[in-house]
Structure 1
Amino acid sequence: MSIPFPSGTRLVGPILGLLAVLLWRVREAKGPVSIKKIVIPPLGMATGMSMFVLPAFRIPWLWALGAVLIGALLLAYPLLRTTRLERDGEAIMMRRSNAFFAVLLGLFAIRFAARGYLDTILSGQQTAALAYLLAFGMIVRWRSQMFLEYRALTSTLALPSA
């Protein structure tokens, strides 16, 4: 059973979350990228899987798989297209794309609209579980691609001269 919130209050949390992500992204793009900075966010996010210990958050396996795949295949795509790593001397830097913020706003809008619909047929906890799995699939694919790009930029293999 979910607790009813006054209408304006339901919007405050997601907007604060969006602002936090935007500020984090600006701060993250200012410093050099490292393996730790690429790998730690998805590992930290993985701790959220503990929510499934509670029966209220459990959803059918097929829904879970679908949510992860939608996140990894559809929602990660804009992030993959707007994130590039570049070598700057000895450092690897994340090139900031102006489109990235538009992508985040679009993803926020999709999530918020879907949440409004899903809340009518699922419990709040199940909706949260689906949103988490969408985001997890998206983050894992995005960070995996960043990891591969980072490794390619830091590779010390010398190519033979022709």
Structure 2
Amino acid sequence: MPTSVPHVPQILSLVASLLAGVLVIAVRLRGTNKPTSLRKIIAPPLGMATGFLMFVVPDVRVPWLWGIAAWAVGAVFFSYPLILTSRFEVKDGAVYLKRSKMFVVIIVALLAVRILLHDVVERHVTIPQTAALFFLLAFGMLLPWRMAMVRRYLALEKTIPEPQRRG
């Protein structure tokens, strides 16, 4: 008689979170080798915004107050370290994202907090609702961070003399 592993969904969720964290770190570190652009800064929140379509499914919906709270936690607590460590520099007439030594530490810490919170939240709401809350938290983190990056990018781009501008 085959035995089933009782926590397969939780294990798969943990592995997916860890892989996503490693992917974020790899993409971010690789991105510092190429010039950035306004399009590259704006694309992630626009792409992620399509995730709001999940709320069409009734099982995913959460009370408004919970959703606002999840978004606020992402915006206040999770975006702030990313905003602090995201800097730009001009090289050869192009704007580059400057690699921060603290970025990897912050992303790993945020991932650990997310994994710990996931288990707590999942005890009180369904798995689809947990996904919705963490989506809102992630979007709350991403949007202010990218808005701060846009402001900094545009300010720095204005300092580049027109004949030297690239990208």
Pick the aligned partner of 1:80 from 78, 83, 89.
83
Q: TM-score, normalised by structure 1?
A: 0.90
Query: TM-score, normalization: structure 2?
Result: 0.87
Pick closer, same or farther for the CA change 1:156–1:28 going to 2, 3 Å: closer
Q: What are the Cα deviations for residues 25-68 of structure 1, in whole angstroms up to 9, with x where unaligned?
A: 11212111101100001100101101100011100111111111
Write the distance in 1 (CA, Å) between the matches of 2:10 and 2:78.
28
The alpha-carbon deviation at position 22 of structure 1 amounts to 1.3
**Residues 90-149 of structure 1, C-alpha deviations (whole Å, 9 max, x = no match):** 100111111100100111011100110111111011111111111101111000000000
Measured in 2, the distance between the counterparts of 1:25 and 1:157 equals 24
Using a 3 Å threshold, how does the CA distance of structure 1 residues 10 and 37 change in structure 2: closer, same or farther?
closer
Identify the match of residue 104 of structure 1 among 86, 99, 107.
107
Gapped runs of 5+ residues in structure 2?
1-5, 162-167
How far apart are residue 7 of structure 1 and its match?
Answer: 6.0
Matched, 1:14 2:30: no
Q: Indicate the SS of the match to 1:137.
A: helix
Q: What SS is found at the alignment partner of 2:123?
A: helix
CA change 1:123–1:93 in 2 (3 A) is: same
Q: What is the distance in 1 between the residues matched to 2:103 and 2:159?
A: 30
Alignment match, 2:49:
46
Question: 4+ residue stretches of structure 1 with deviation over 6 A?
Answer: none
Q: Percent identity?
A: 40
Kindly report which structure 2 residues correspond to 1:54-69, keeping only aligned pairs within 5 A, or say none: 54-69=57-72
**Unpaired runs of 5+ in structure 1?**
none
CA distance in 2, matches of 1:104, 1:79: 8
Structure 2 CA distance for aligned equivalents of residues 32 and 75 of structure 1: 25
Contact 2:93/2:160 (<8 A) preserved: no
Number of paired residues?
156
Structure 1 position 11, deviation (Å) = 2.4
Partner residue, 1:135? 138
The counterpart of 1:149, out of the listed 133, 152, 157, is: 152
What letter corresponds to residue 28 of structure 1 in structure 2?
A: G
In 1, the alpha carbon distance for the partners of 2:47 and 2:9 equals: 31
